[in-house]
Structure 1
Amino acid sequence: MRRPALYSTSRPARAGTPAGAPAGSDPANTETPSVAAAAAAGAAPSRWSRWRPDPSRPVWLWAAILLLAAALVATLVSRPQQRRLTQDDITAAVLKTLSTETLPSEYSRAYDRIRPSVVRVVSYVKRSRLKGDDAKAAAHGARPKPLGPAGGEGAEGDEVESGVGTGVVIIDKGVILTNLHVVAGSDRIKVTFHDGLEATATITGVQAENDLAVLQAAKIPDDMIAATMRSTADLAPGDKVLAVGFPFGIGPSASGGIVSGLGRAFKSPEGKQEMKNLIQFDAAANPGNSGGPLVTMDGEVVGIVTAILNPTPARTFLGIGFAVPIENAASAAGLPPF
């Protein structure tokens, strides 16, 4: 009886298979044992691998910073430099503006600054009292004469308009300076502010020697602005001034001129009063300007218009007006001197 064939568990190496290679390996794999072992353990680093970018290495971080800095410097150097302005450039720009833009005049700027502080002042007397004093008033030539529109604008019932003048707010609580002759002997005083608000006013102070009266308005605008007063110490003949008021009740009206003289004296037509240390000016002023401000080109008050010189009965302007220096006017209101 034949014995069954026995087979060994090891097989001879196939042709092309390296000796010692594991059984079942791919005969197409022709790598040498050393290469295969190196591949199994991980490829050995090449000589160029040390220069491969690695963010974790400081040398590459510094290299990136230097590269960015170089790019920034190159950008700044290549940018065209801006030319510096010279005085000739500035002069040319100013001349161009002056030739293309219409700028307000000095008088216009002064008017804009003083306008919110100027008020219209109207005084009234009772008709019954006026009639009773007719004979006495006619004898002294002192009967009140309306200076505003005919018909007694604003008169109520038994009242008649006796005078129209101007005032200027010197304290934003409604304290107003005006001329005493505008409100003297009145039964009621009405003031009209720049925004149209009308209010009654009372006399709180008088400086008769300078024909000044201080009024307190019963109510004032919410945005009341008081005038800025300026010392006359540096005022000189030839300085530009602006007179603002309500001549014959029309206004507010502005007229420009210069200071004609200082330290002048003026005697009233009736000869009852002589005022001294007045500012003489040639800005047009007429009845109704009385009590208004005389201001500089900065819009600052240097005087209160009080009189005009006219030897004729016309009571119109002939080129000579007088104002009380603001130092005297301010003292009438109890304000400290400059």
Structure 2
Amino acid sequence: MKREAVFSKSPRPAGSDKHAPTEPSPFSSQTNSKPSTPIQRRLSKIKSGWRWDFLAVFLMGIVCSLLAVGVFSPALQWRPALTQKDIDAAVLHTLQTKDLPSASSKAAASIQGAVVHVQAYVADPKNKDSDIESGVGTGVVIKDDGTILTNFHVVSGAKKLRVTFFDGTESDATVIGVQADKDLAVLKPQKIPDDLEPAILGSSQQLAPGDGVVAVGFPFGIGPSVSSGVVSGLNRQFKSQDGKQNLSGLIQFDAAANPGNSGGPLINMSGEVVGIVTAILNPTSARTFIGIGFATTIESAGSAVGLPPF
């Protein structure tokens, strides 16, 4: 189908139909002629401007790269590896300039949250409606549920027991098990702190005379108190003056212990309970420490609460 020609409505000069030169298209692909129309001139400016913008961005990228290399290259420089001499010098410097905690201090800190103050009460003979304190001792939490290990002689004959935890929480407690021949008792408090952590139990089989130990407790109700010393003997026997206590297989130690320490933990330098403080050798009536204390091994104490052997 023949397309209909479209003609301009503008008047033409006479005789210009056949020989009038054809104007180049604004979008002509010719590149060797100067732009003659407004559209061509605008396109030429856009192309020229784009070239300059691209060149500016490219040059700016090179400048930024050079700056980055200049800033970070010192951090990327190779550094020699540390030698043993360098490490030894750093450790020596720390030892000479810093006050480090002692081994006994670290051991006591690891157990302190599991140590409890135990108070025993009996009926007041003058007033049966009230109770009076009949004994004071120490206990150590050995299970997540708050189970406490202490001495039998601390709770024996008590009408009421009250324990105080590390954070000040107080609770009544009941005796749920005893081994009188080993002077051991197991207590169960009615309530416990939310963040209570039991002690870590070790093994007395690894002990040797001269090994460091720490005793934590409430001597004369004061505490928690910490004393440190060494194992001075193993497999010792102890017989009280009244003949009521006759114990064997004990750990002998020289860390200070006094009335009130009974039932508290004896721990090694790793903070593990290796024994339960049971008695002090006191040939006089002063009831004070003269340098020899005894602890039931944790193996014997563990059997009192049904713990498996070590």
Q: Would the TM-score normalized by the shorter structure come out above 0.5? A: yes
SS in 2 for 1:233: helix
Alignment partner of 2:171 out of 188, 199, 209: 199
> Distance between the aligned counterparts of 2:137 and 2:301, measured in 1?
16
Alignment partner of 1:104 out of 88, 93, 101: 101
State the AA in 2 paired with 1:240.
Answer: G
Matches within 5 A, 1:230-241: 230-241=202-213
For the structure 1 residues 213 and 105, does the alpha-carbon distance in structure 2 shift closer, same or farther, using more than 3 Å as the test?
same
TM-score, normalization: structure 1? 0.70
- CA drift at 1:158: 1.4
Question: Which residue in the other structure is 1:95 paired with?
Answer: 92
State the AA in 2 paired with 1:219.
Answer: K
C-alpha offsets along residues 146-169 of structure 1, whole Å, 9 cap, x if unaligned?
A: xxxxxxxxx995111100000000
> Distance between the aligned counterparts of 2:141 and 2:170, measured in 1?
14
Q: Indicate yes or no: 2:301 matched with 1:312.
A: no
SS in 2 for 1:111: helix
For the structure 1 residues 270 and 86, does the alpha-carbon distance in structure 2 shift closer, same or farther, using more than 3 Å as the test?
same
Matches within 5 A, 1:1-338: 80-128=77-125, 158-338=130-310
- Matched residues, number: 253
SS in 1 for 2:205: coil
> Distance between the aligned counterparts of 1:243 and 1:222, measured in 2?
25
C-alpha offsets along residues 44-93 of structure 1, whole Å, 9 cap, x if unaligned?
A: xxxxxxxxxxxxxxxxxxxxxxxx9xxx9xx9899642011000111111
- 4+ residue segments displaced more than 3 Å: 75-80
> Distance between the aligned counterparts of 2:274 and 2:291, measured in 1?
19
- Bigger radius of gyration among the two: 1
> Distance between the aligned counterparts of 1:182 and 1:79, measured in 2?
68
State the AA in 2 paired with 1:317.
Answer: F
State the AA in 2 paired with 1:225.
Answer: E
Give structure 1 stretches of 5+ with no counterpart.
1-8, 10-21, 25-37, 41-67, 132-154
> Distance between the aligned counterparts of 1:103 and 1:126, measured in 2?
49
Question: Which residue in the other structure is 2:41 paired with?
Answer: none
For the structure 1 residues 120 and 100, does the alpha-carbon distance in structure 2 shift closer, same or farther, using more than 3 Å as the test?
same
State the AA in 2 paired with 1:89.
Answer: D
- CA drift at 1:310: 0.9
- CA drift at 1:273: 2.8
> Distance between the aligned counterparts of 2:181 and 2:149, measured in 1?
15
Percent identical among aligned pairs is 60
- CA drift at 1:319: 0.3
Give structure 2 stretches of 5+ with no counterpart.
1-14, 22-30, 34-64
- CA drift at 1:212: 0.3
For the structure 1 residues 331 and 23, does the alpha-carbon distance in structure 2 shift closer, same or farther, using more than 3 Å as the test?
closer
> Distance between the aligned counterparts of 1:317 and 1:76, measured in 2?
69
**RMSD value, Cα:** 2.8
TM-score, normalization: structure 2? 0.76
State the AA in 2 paired with 1:93.
Answer: A
State the AA in 2 paired with 1:97.
Answer: T
State the AA in 2 paired with 1:195.
Answer: D
SS in 2 for 1:96: helix
For the structure 1 residues 156 and 244, does the alpha-carbon distance in structure 2 shift closer, same or farther, using more than 3 Å as the test?
farther
- CA drift at 1:255: 0.3
- CA drift at 1:275: 0.4
